[in-house]
Amino acid sequence: MSRLKYFLQQSWLLLASSFCFGLLIAMTNAALSDRIEQNKAAKLNDITKRLLPGAEVFQPVAAEIQIKLPDGTQEQARILEVLAGDKQRLGWSFNVHGSGFAGPIELVLTTDQGFQKIMGFDVLASSETPGFGDQIKSDYYRRQYVNAPTEPLTLAKTGDPAMADSQIVAITGATVSSQAVVDIVNTFLPQIKSQMQEKGLIGNVGP
């Protein structure tokens, strides 16, 4: 009993202030959590809007689509159906990720309404070397993906970057990062496409 008393005597301030601090954090969290959630969604939607002009409505796809990652693990893909203001489908948008040269790369990838063509991608997060691998964010590199077919892409050292085909021309000095983006797209796109066709979300027409 006296031990308990001693314990309380020594630590009442710690206990009391922990309680107050906990309350303070809970209040802040309650006040801000909605906004934080909104921000997260808004960021994805903003990128999608840039890639698919005219996009206004973003509906998460309810169907479960399982992606097998290169390291053998499975995860569920997060896919958004992108609609214009008049409820007409503009395309699809999804988060994809993989490892780059210096760390993980996270991308937002969009396709057209029938999943025939890639409409472009943008980088959500990456830690590639500034000036080299970092150029996967450049328009020069990203433009090559616009209108590329949704079939496995290949990376080439030389070629015509203006051609809308499945061949992506690597960034000089950043082959690994260029390859990483191609690999990420190649991991996710075919799996999402075939599963969406199975589930009847998109037509079965070949490319």
Partner 1 sequence: MDRFVALLMGFLSVVLVNNFVFTKFLGTCPYLGVSGRMDRAFGMGLAVTFVTALSGTLTWMVDAWVLTPLHLEITRYICYIVIIAGAVQLVEMYVRKFFPSLYEAFGIFLPLISTNCVILGICLFLDVWGTNSLLEAVVISTGTGIGFTVAICIMAAIREELALADVPEALQGAPITLITAGLLTLAFMGFAGMIK
Partner 2 sequence: MSAPNGSTSGLYSKALFTGLWRENPTFRLMIGMCPPLAVTTAVKPALTMGLSVIFVLVCSNLVVSLMRNLLKPHLRIIMFTVTIATFVTICDLFLKAYQPQMSEILGAYVPLIIVNCIIIFRAEACASKSGPLVSILDGVGMGTGFTLALCALSAVRELLATGHVFDIQVMPKAFVPWLALQMPVGAFVTLGLMLGLINVLTRKREVATEDPEATVAPSAPAAPVPATT
The contact set with partner 1 (CB under 8 A) reads: 21-22, 25-26, 29, 71-72, 99-103, 129, 176
For the chain, the first-to-last Cα distance in angstroms comes to 79
Near partner 2 in 13-32, by CB under 8 A: 13-14, 17-18, 21, 24-25, 28-29, 32
Largest CA distance in the chain: 83
Residue 130 near partner 2 by CB under 8 A: yes
CA distance 146 to 111: 9
Q: How far is the CB of 142 from partner 1 (least distance, A)?
A: 21
Structure-token pair, residue 143: 């433009």
Residue closer to partner 2, measured from CB, 2 or 10: 10
Residue closer to partner 1, measured from CB, 103 or 203: 103
| Residues 153-183 as b or e (16 or more Cβ within 10 Å = b) | bebeeeeeeeeeebbbbbbeebebbbebbbb
Residue closer to partner 2, measured from CB, 16 or 156: 16
CA distance 63 to 79: 9
- The binding site for partner 2 (CB under 8 A) comprises 10-11, 13-14, 17-18, 21, 24-25, 28-29, 32, 35-36, 39-40, 43, 125, 129-131
